[in-house]
Structure 1
Amino acid sequence: MTGLEILLLILVLVVVLGASTIIQTVRPFIVNAAVGLLVLFLAQAIFGLQVAVTPIALAIVAIGGVPGSLLVILLSLFGVAFVP
């Protein structure tokens, strides 16, 4: 192996480890967002609640999970925010 091949192998290893770290960091937010959006969808489908899904609402749901989605639903019910 030449020096260039070894350097490229090290570079690929660093990129793969960096990508793995980023994915492990972001995974809880993705799961929280999916579960929170499921709660919002069920609230709209079962109870007929109207909640505007905005980027701010998604951020609250992604960070807060189910409690965040309940907060968004309550704010929408009381007409404070996220009203369509």
Structure 2
Amino acid sequence: MTGIEILLLIVVLVGVLVAASLIRAVSPFIINAVVGLVVLFLAQAVFGFSIAVTPIVLLIVALGGVPGSIVVLVLSLLGVAFVP
């Protein structure tokens, strides 16, 4: 193996390790966002809550996860915000 091949192998290995650690760090947030969106969908589909799904609602639920979806549901039920 030449020096360039060894250097390229080291660079690729470091890149894979960085990507794996980044995925490990971000995955809880992704799971929380998906669960929050599922809660919002189930509240509409199964329980019949009427919530105006806007980009703001999706942003709150995606960033807040389950607590964000509960806040959106409560505000919608009280008629404060997100009412269709």
Q: Normalised by the size of structure 1, how large is the TM-score?
A: 0.80
Tell me the matched-pair count: 84
CA shift in 2, pair 1:56/1:29, >3 Å:
farther
Tell me which amino acid in the other structure corresponds to 1:82.
F
Identity level (%) = 70
- Structure 2 alignment gaps of length 5 or more: none
Match of 1:47, SS state, is: coil
Over the aligned positions, Cα root-mean-square deviation in angstroms equals 1.8
Shift of 1:76: 2.2
Q: How does 1:1-84 map to 2 (within 5 A)?
A: 1-84=1-84
- Structure 1 alignment gaps of length 5 or more: none
Distance 1:74 1:12 in 2: 48
Q: Normalised by the size of structure 2, how large is the TM-score?
A: 0.80
